[in-house]
Protein backbone atom coordinates (compact mmCIF):
# COMPACT_ATOMS: atom_id res chain seq x y z
CA UNK A 1 0.00 0.00 0.00
CA UNK A 2 1.20 3.50 -0.89
CA UNK A 3 0.12 6.49 1.21
CA UNK A 4 1.06 9.92 -0.14
CA UNK A 5 1.18 12.77 2.37
CA UNK A 6 0.58 16.31 1.08
CA UNK A 7 0.51 18.74 4.00
CA UNK A 8 0.37 21.81 1.77
CA UNK A 9 -1.67 20.92 -1.34
CA UNK A 10 -2.68 23.47 -3.95
CA UNK A 11 -4.58 24.22 -7.06
CA UNK A 12 -1.80 24.56 -9.65
CA UNK A 13 -2.60 27.26 -12.19
CA UNK A 14 -0.21 27.01 -15.14
CA UNK A 15 -0.26 29.89 -17.62
CA UNK A 16 1.56 30.12 -20.95
CA UNK A 17 2.98 33.44 -22.16
CA UNK A 18 5.29 34.37 -25.02
CA UNK A 19 7.73 36.28 -22.79
CA UNK A 20 7.12 37.37 -19.18
CA UNK A 21 7.25 41.17 -19.08
CA UNK A 22 8.04 42.27 -15.53
CA UNK A 23 6.15 45.45 -14.64
CA UNK A 24 4.19 45.32 -17.90
CA UNK A 25 1.12 43.77 -19.51
CA UNK A 26 1.25 40.02 -20.10
CA UNK A 27 -1.30 38.33 -22.35
CA UNK A 28 -1.90 34.72 -21.40
CA UNK A 29 -2.11 32.26 -24.29
CA UNK A 30 -3.33 29.23 -22.34
CA UNK A 31 -4.40 28.40 -18.77
CA UNK A 32 -4.41 24.96 -17.15
CA UNK A 33 -5.80 24.19 -13.68
CA UNK A 34 -4.81 21.04 -11.78
CA UNK A 35 -5.26 19.73 -8.27
CA UNK A 36 -1.69 19.63 -7.07
CA UNK A 37 0.86 19.52 -4.33
CA UNK A 38 3.70 17.04 -4.61
CA UNK A 39 2.01 14.06 -2.95
CA UNK A 40 -1.18 14.57 -4.95
CA UNK A 41 0.84 14.75 -8.17
CA UNK A 42 2.53 11.52 -7.16
CA UNK A 43 -0.82 9.79 -6.57
CA UNK A 44 -2.23 10.99 -9.90
CA UNK A 45 0.79 9.58 -11.72
CA UNK A 46 0.63 6.27 -9.84
CA UNK A 47 -3.02 6.01 -10.89
CA UNK A 48 -2.22 6.81 -14.53
CA UNK A 49 0.46 4.12 -14.82
CA UNK A 50 -1.78 1.46 -13.31
CA UNK A 51 -1.24 1.56 -9.56
CA UNK A 52 -3.22 2.80 -6.57
CA UNK A 53 -2.58 4.88 -3.49
CA UNK A 54 -4.27 6.73 -0.64
CA UNK A 55 -3.95 10.52 -0.51
CA UNK A 56 -3.86 12.31 2.83
CA UNK A 57 -2.76 15.63 4.30
CA UNK A 58 -4.54 18.91 5.04
CA UNK A 59 -7.22 20.68 3.01
CA UNK A 60 -9.08 23.92 3.79
CA UNK A 61 -11.94 25.99 2.45
CA UNK A 62 -13.45 25.93 -1.02
CA UNK A 63 -10.12 25.22 -2.69
CA UNK A 64 -9.73 22.18 -0.47
CA UNK A 65 -13.19 20.96 -1.49
CA UNK A 66 -12.17 21.25 -5.14
CA UNK A 67 -9.10 19.10 -4.49
CA UNK A 68 -11.22 16.49 -2.70
CA UNK A 69 -13.67 16.44 -5.62
CA UNK A 70 -10.86 16.04 -8.14
CA UNK A 71 -9.53 13.04 -6.21
CA UNK A 72 -13.02 11.53 -6.30
CA UNK A 73 -13.21 12.12 -10.06
CA UNK A 74 -9.87 10.36 -10.49
CA UNK A 75 -11.15 7.52 -8.29
CA UNK A 76 -8.19 8.05 -5.96
CA UNK A 77 -8.97 7.28 -2.32
CA UNK A 78 -8.51 10.39 -0.16
CA UNK A 79 -8.45 10.71 3.62
CA UNK A 80 -7.73 14.36 4.35
CA UNK A 81 -7.81 16.33 7.59
CA UNK A 82 -9.93 19.48 7.11
CA UNK A 83 -8.51 22.62 8.74
CA UNK A 84 -9.60 26.26 8.91
CA UNK A 85 -8.50 28.78 6.28
CA UNK A 86 -8.06 28.24 2.56
CA UNK A 87 -5.90 25.81 0.62
CA UNK A 88 -3.44 27.72 -1.55
CA UNK A 89 -3.39 28.39 -5.29
CA UNK A 90 0.03 28.28 -6.95
CA UNK A 91 0.62 30.10 -10.23
CA UNK A 92 3.25 28.83 -12.64
CA UNK A 93 4.18 31.09 -15.56
CA UNK A 94 5.70 29.16 -18.47
CA UNK A 95 7.47 31.11 -21.23
CA UNK A 96 7.82 29.92 -24.82
CA UNK A 97 11.62 29.60 -24.58
CA UNK A 98 11.26 27.28 -21.57
CA UNK A 99 11.70 29.53 -18.52
CA UNK A 100 9.38 28.84 -15.60
CA UNK A 101 8.41 31.38 -12.91
CA UNK A 102 6.50 30.06 -9.88
CA UNK A 103 4.35 32.10 -7.49
CA UNK A 104 3.44 29.89 -4.54
CA UNK A 105 1.04 30.93 -1.78
CA UNK A 106 1.85 29.95 1.84
CA UNK A 107 -1.31 27.94 2.58
CA UNK A 108 -3.44 27.79 5.76
CA UNK A 109 -2.19 27.78 9.35
CA UNK A 110 -2.24 24.29 10.85
CA UNK A 111 -2.87 23.99 14.59
CA UNK A 112 -1.27 21.41 16.87
CA UNK A 113 -4.54 19.49 17.22
CA UNK A 114 -4.73 19.16 13.43
CA UNK A 115 -1.16 17.86 13.31
CA UNK A 116 -1.86 15.32 16.02
CA UNK A 117 -4.93 14.13 14.10
CA UNK A 118 -2.83 13.58 10.98
CA UNK A 119 -0.11 11.76 12.93
CA UNK A 120 -2.71 9.43 14.41
CA UNK A 121 -4.11 8.76 10.94
CA UNK A 122 -0.66 7.94 9.54
CA UNK A 123 0.16 5.66 12.45
CA UNK A 124 -3.05 3.78 11.73
CA UNK A 125 -1.94 3.11 8.16
CA UNK A 126 1.59 2.06 9.12
CA UNK A 127 2.66 -1.57 8.78
CA UNK A 128 5.35 -3.58 7.00
CA UNK A 129 3.47 -3.44 3.69
CA UNK A 130 3.07 0.36 3.67
CA UNK A 131 5.20 2.95 1.87
CA UNK A 132 4.65 6.55 2.96
CA UNK A 133 5.56 9.28 0.47
CA UNK A 134 6.48 12.47 2.35
CA UNK A 135 6.69 15.15 -0.28
CA UNK A 136 6.85 18.90 -0.55
CA UNK A 137 6.55 21.87 1.76
CA UNK A 138 4.60 22.15 5.00
CA UNK A 139 2.10 24.89 5.90
CA UNK A 140 2.43 27.56 8.58
CA UNK A 141 2.33 26.16 12.09
CA UNK A 142 4.15 22.93 11.25
CA UNK A 143 7.72 22.42 12.51
CA UNK A 144 10.48 21.54 10.07
CA UNK A 145 11.23 18.34 12.00
CA UNK A 146 7.80 16.89 11.17
CA UNK A 147 9.04 14.51 8.48
CA UNK A 148 11.67 13.22 10.89
CA UNK A 149 8.95 12.59 13.49
CA UNK A 150 6.80 10.73 10.98
CA UNK A 151 9.70 8.58 9.77
CA UNK A 152 10.60 7.56 13.31
CA UNK A 153 6.96 6.85 14.15
CA UNK A 154 6.10 4.66 11.15
CA UNK A 155 9.47 2.85 11.18
CA UNK A 156 8.53 1.49 14.60
CA UNK A 157 5.65 -0.33 12.90
CA UNK A 158 7.80 -1.63 10.04
CA UNK A 159 6.63 0.80 7.37
CA UNK A 160 8.89 2.33 4.71
CA UNK A 161 9.28 6.00 3.77
CA UNK A 162 10.13 7.79 0.52
CA UNK A 163 11.24 11.37 1.16
CA UNK A 164 11.11 14.18 -1.41
CA UNK A 165 11.72 17.50 0.34
CA UNK A 166 14.27 20.28 0.55
CA UNK A 167 15.90 22.67 2.99
CA UNK A 168 15.47 22.02 6.71
CA UNK A 169 12.71 19.48 6.06
CA UNK A 170 15.21 17.35 4.12
CA UNK A 171 18.17 17.94 6.43
CA UNK A 172 16.20 17.03 9.56
CA UNK A 173 14.47 14.02 7.99
CA UNK A 174 17.67 12.46 6.62
CA UNK A 175 18.89 11.89 10.18
CA UNK A 176 15.94 9.51 10.69
CA UNK A 177 17.11 7.38 7.72
CA UNK A 178 14.18 7.37 5.29
CA UNK A 179 14.30 4.28 3.08
CA UNK A 180 14.24 6.11 -0.27
CA UNK A 181 15.15 9.71 -1.07
CA UNK A 182 14.98 11.65 -4.33
CA UNK A 183 16.82 14.95 -4.07
CA UNK A 184 17.45 16.93 -7.22
CA UNK A 185 20.81 18.47 -7.99
CA UNK A 186 20.06 21.79 -6.26
CA UNK A 187 18.63 20.14 -3.14
CA UNK A 188 21.68 17.94 -2.75
CA UNK A 189 24.02 20.90 -3.26
CA UNK A 190 22.13 22.85 -0.60
CA UNK A 191 22.27 19.91 1.79
CA UNK A 192 26.04 19.72 1.35
CA UNK A 193 26.44 23.49 1.83
CA UNK A 194 27.80 24.04 -1.68
CA UNK A 195 27.65 27.52 -3.19
CA UNK A 196 28.50 26.28 -6.68
CA UNK A 197 27.18 23.77 -9.23
CA UNK A 198 28.44 20.33 -8.25
CA UNK A 199 29.98 18.04 -10.83
CA UNK A 200 28.31 14.74 -11.59
CA UNK A 201 31.14 12.97 -9.77
CA UNK A 202 30.57 15.12 -6.67
CA UNK A 203 26.84 14.35 -6.77
CA UNK A 204 27.65 10.66 -7.01
CA UNK A 205 29.99 10.83 -4.00
CA UNK A 206 27.37 12.64 -1.94
CA UNK A 207 24.69 10.13 -2.90
CA UNK A 208 27.03 7.23 -2.13
CA UNK A 209 27.76 8.63 1.34
CA UNK A 210 24.02 8.76 2.05
CA UNK A 211 23.70 5.09 1.05
CA UNK A 212 26.65 4.22 3.28
CA UNK A 213 24.92 6.09 6.14
CA UNK A 214 21.98 3.71 5.94
CA UNK A 215 19.54 5.02 3.31
CA UNK A 216 18.59 2.08 1.07
CA UNK A 217 17.92 3.95 -2.17
CA UNK A 218 19.15 7.37 -3.29
CA UNK A 219 18.02 8.85 -6.61
CA UNK A 220 19.45 12.18 -7.76
CA UNK A 221 17.48 13.84 -10.55
CA UNK A 222 19.55 16.13 -12.79
CA UNK A 223 17.04 17.52 -15.27
CA UNK A 224 18.10 17.19 -18.90
CA UNK A 225 21.30 15.44 -17.76
CA UNK A 226 19.32 12.45 -16.48
CA UNK A 227 19.55 10.85 -13.06
CA UNK A 228 21.78 8.85 -10.73
CA UNK A 229 20.36 5.73 -9.07
CA UNK A 230 22.01 4.07 -6.07
CA UNK A 231 20.43 1.04 -4.46
CA UNK A 232 23.00 -0.90 -2.50
CA UNK A 233 25.65 -2.13 -4.92
CA UNK A 234 23.47 -1.26 -7.92
CA UNK A 235 24.76 2.20 -8.85
CA UNK A 236 23.96 3.55 -12.31
CA UNK A 237 23.39 6.68 -14.34
CA UNK A 238 20.74 7.24 -17.00
CA UNK A 239 21.15 10.08 -19.52
CA UNK A 240 18.05 12.19 -20.03
CA UNK A 241 15.64 11.01 -22.71
CA UNK A 242 15.18 13.21 -25.75
CA UNK A 243 11.55 14.33 -25.75
CA UNK A 244 9.69 17.45 -26.82
CA UNK A 245 9.34 19.22 -23.49
CA UNK A 246 6.42 21.46 -22.66
CA UNK A 247 7.15 22.07 -18.98
CA UNK A 248 9.41 20.60 -16.30
CA UNK A 249 6.63 21.06 -13.71
CA UNK A 250 5.88 17.69 -12.13
CA UNK A 251 8.85 15.77 -13.57
CA UNK A 252 10.32 15.13 -10.13
CA UNK A 253 6.93 14.11 -8.75
CA UNK A 254 6.56 11.69 -11.66
CA UNK A 255 9.87 10.05 -10.77
CA UNK A 256 8.77 9.72 -7.14
CA UNK A 257 5.55 8.10 -8.37
CA UNK A 258 7.54 5.60 -10.43
CA UNK A 259 9.78 4.80 -7.45
CA UNK A 260 6.69 4.22 -5.29
CA UNK A 261 4.93 2.10 -7.89
CA UNK A 262 8.08 0.02 -8.41
CA UNK A 263 8.40 -0.56 -4.65
CA UNK A 264 4.76 -1.61 -4.41
CA UNK A 265 5.09 -4.01 -7.35
CA UNK A 266 8.43 -5.37 -6.05
CA UNK A 267 10.23 -4.53 -9.29
CA UNK A 268 13.94 -5.17 -9.72
CA UNK A 269 16.44 -2.31 -9.52
CA UNK A 270 16.86 -2.29 -13.31
CA UNK A 271 13.10 -2.32 -13.90
CA UNK A 272 12.72 0.50 -11.39
CA UNK A 273 15.34 2.67 -13.10
CA UNK A 274 13.82 2.12 -16.53
CA UNK A 275 10.33 3.00 -15.33
CA UNK A 276 11.53 6.10 -13.45
CA UNK A 277 13.27 7.56 -16.48
CA UNK A 278 10.32 6.91 -18.77
CA UNK A 279 7.67 8.32 -16.42
CA UNK A 280 9.74 11.42 -15.64
CA UNK A 281 10.46 12.09 -19.32
CA UNK A 282 6.81 11.61 -20.17
CA UNK A 283 5.79 14.16 -17.53
CA UNK A 284 7.73 17.01 -19.16
CA UNK A 285 5.74 16.56 -22.39
CA UNK A 286 2.36 17.22 -20.73
CA UNK A 287 0.60 20.49 -19.96
CA UNK A 288 0.61 21.63 -16.33
CA UNK A 289 1.09 18.81 -13.83
CA UNK A 290 -0.82 16.19 -15.80
CA UNK A 291 0.87 12.75 -15.74
CA UNK A 292 1.90 10.88 -18.89
CA UNK A 293 -0.25 8.03 -20.15
CA UNK A 294 0.82 4.44 -19.58
CA UNK A 295 1.09 4.01 -23.35
CA UNK A 296 3.58 6.88 -23.58
CA UNK A 297 5.56 5.47 -20.66
CA UNK A 298 5.80 2.05 -22.30
CA UNK A 299 7.11 3.65 -25.50
CA UNK A 300 9.69 5.75 -23.64
CA UNK A 301 10.97 2.75 -21.69
CA UNK A 302 12.43 1.46 -24.96
CA UNK A 303 14.70 4.54 -25.10
CA UNK A 304 16.23 4.29 -21.62
CA UNK A 305 19.99 3.82 -21.50
CA UNK A 306 21.62 2.58 -18.28
CA UNK A 307 25.31 3.25 -17.60
CA UNK A 308 27.33 1.83 -14.70
CA UNK A 309 28.68 4.35 -12.19
CA UNK A 310 32.21 4.01 -10.89
Q: Chain-centre distance of CA 3, in angstroms?
A: 13
Instruction: Please write the tens of the pLDDT for every residue from 247-300.
Output: 666 789 999 999 999 999 999 999 999 999 999 999 988 876 789 999 999 999
The string of pLDDT tens digits covering residues 100-142 is 898 988 889 999 999 999 999 999 999 999 999 999 999 999 9
At a CB cut-off of 8 Å and minimum separation 6, what does 166 contact?
Answer: 183, 186, 187, 190
- Percentage of the chain lying above the pLDDT 90 cut: 80
Kindly report the pTM of this predicted structure: 0.91
CB 226 within 8 A of CB 304: no
Amino acid sequence: MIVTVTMNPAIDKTVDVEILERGGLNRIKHVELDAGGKGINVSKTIHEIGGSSIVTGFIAGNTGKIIKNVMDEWKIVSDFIEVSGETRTNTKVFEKQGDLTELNEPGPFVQEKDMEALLAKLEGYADKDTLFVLAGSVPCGVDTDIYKRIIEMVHKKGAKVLLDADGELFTNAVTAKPDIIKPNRIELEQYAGMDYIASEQELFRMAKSLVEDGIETVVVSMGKSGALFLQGDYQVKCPGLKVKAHSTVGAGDAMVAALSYAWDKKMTAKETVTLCMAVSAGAVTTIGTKPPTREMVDDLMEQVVIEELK
